[in-house]
Amino acid sequence: MSGAIISPSLPAMLDHFSDVPNAEYLVRLVLTLPALFIALVSPVSGLIIDRFGRKFVLLAGLSLYGLAGTSAVFLDSIYHILITRALLGIAVAAIMTTITTLIADYYDGTTRAKLMGLQAAAIGIGGMVYLTTGGFLAELSWNAPFIIYITSLMLIPLTLVSIYDPVIRNNRSAAEIETQDTQSRRELKKVIPLLLGIYWLMFFMQMTFYTVPTQLPFYLQALTGANAIKIGIAIASSTLFSAIASYMYGRISILFSYIHIVCISLLLTGAGFTIISYSASYYHILIGLFFSGLGVGLFMPNVTMWLSVIAPAAYRGRALGGLTASIFVGHFLSLIIIQPFITNFGFTRTFFFIGLIQVCLALLFLSIRGVFYSNKG
């Protein structure tokens, strides 16, 4: 919801603010600015929840999310809207880091893998519902989709009733706590290279895949003349396919190692972007989105599960905060990195180039998979 829900209204928003200098860039920034603040705040959120508990941070995030997100409905200044988008990013950082950490706290083993898959599937289903709704609302007004953010306030009573902070330290002595903390720090140092590699993988996947909500609306409009509803349906279909793959992750994770699933994900997304680059119609693009959606749907729970397994429990919130940061650094830099390619080479060549890089990375990781390790050997 945080960014892509307003994607169908981007062309109409650009028309509305066409008299503002650099409107084309600023309108796209409305979509990507939350990602910058999510990236900046997520590591801090991880530190806070590790030290002060999960539930309070989650409640604060849900409240800010609803208020900041909805306030854009009543604003008619692109700069004021950008301020609310920054606040929205702070809220998302708190929510995402806390939720993923709680799943890792509450569950382990195969159950945790299933829950990670269900979490990613829920993201995909929510994206399908809210993006489609956003497309219909964008037909009424460019700012109408912002009203959807108020739904987060409805989750506050459920959070108060259902969520609890896990007891990590129990009644251990100070000496026992110090011993375990020292051991945790040693474990963390051993896995730092792998953590950084996982962060880079997440950044790359999100940076390339975020071209779907940021660039595809303009590509669809130029290629097929699609309206906001059809744009919303196209992007929502990608999240639906992602949800299907994420739902199946629990079963797939039993058969393949983490790095093998990364390779499968890159091959699927690479195939999807290649198909999009050769598409001549709206429905051909949907086929490409099918493959790229499947790839991202497998990738997200797989990488999150991988990190939650290797990160020591005492540092799990911070480690997952870093993962959240890498997601949204990718979202924010997607516009900055990809837009020059779009400007100079066009949509078709840029999408083909993205697909080619993803396929090449999959083959590279497959050939050097021995340098990675996982609990599956």
CATH number at residue 256: 1.20.1250.20
The amino acid present at 234, given as its one-letter code, is A
Instruction: List, for residues 100-117, the tens digit of each pLDDT value.
Output: 888 888 888 788 878 878
- Average of pLDDT values for 208-230? 83
Q: 178 falls in which pLDDT band (50, 70, 90)?
A: low
pLDDT at 369: 63
Number of domains in the chain: 1
Amino acid occupying residue 189 = K
pLDDT of residue 255 exceeding 80, the answer is yes
Question: Quick one: tokens of 272?
Answer: 């999807």
Q: Are 120 and 300 in contact (CB under 8 A)?
A: yes
**72-76, 135-139, 155-159 — most confident range:** 155-159
pLDDT of residue 335: 78
| Residue 374 pLDDT class (50, 70, 90 cuts) | very low
User: Is 154 inside a domain boundary?
Assistant: yes
Cα–Cα distance for residue pair 260/166, rounded to 1 Å: 32
The answer to whether residue 271 scores a pLDDT higher than 90 is yes
DSSP structure class, residue 363: H
What is the pLDDT, as a whole number, of residue 130?
79
Contacts 24+ apart (CB under 8 A), 133-137: 133/232, 134/5, 134/6, 134/7, 134/8, 134/9, 134/232, 135/8, 135/228, 135/229, 135/230, 135/231, 135/232, 135/233, 135/236, 136/228, 136/229, 136/232, 137/9
Provide mean pLDDT across the span 37-47.
83
Q: What is the mean pLDDT of the segment spanning 268-293?
A: 92
pLDDT at 170: 47
Task: Specify the pTM.
Answer: 0.73
**81 pLDDT higher than 80:** yes
Residue 356 belongs to a domain = yes
Q: Residue 186: CA atoms inside 13 Å, Cβ hemisphere, count?
A: 6
Could you identify the residue written with the tokens 């744009």? 231
Counting residues of the chain whose pLDDT is more than 90, the rounded percentage is 25
Question: Is residue 205 domain-resident?
Answer: yes
Biggest alpha carbon distance in the chain?
68
To the nearest whole number, what is the mean pLDDT of the chain? Answer: 84
> CA 141 from chain center: how many Å?
26
Answer yes or no: is 170 within a domain: no
136-171: b or e for each residue (b if 16 or more CB lie within 10 Å)?
A: ebbeeebbbbbbbbeebeebeeeeeeebeeeeeeee
3 vs 320: which has the higher pLDDT: 320
Report the C-alpha gap between 7 and 232 in whole angstroms: 7
Per-residue pLDDT of 310-362, as tens digits, reads 887 777 777 888 888 888 888 878 878 988 898 899 889 999 999 999 999 99
Of the ranges 63-77, 195-209, 321-335, which one carries the lowest mean pLDDT score? 321-335
Domain range for 138 = 4-163+177-371
Query: Mean pLDDT highest for which of 18-27, 51-60, 115-124, 196-205?
Result: 196-205
| Burial degree of 293 (CB within 10 A; 0-12, 13-18, 19+) | buried
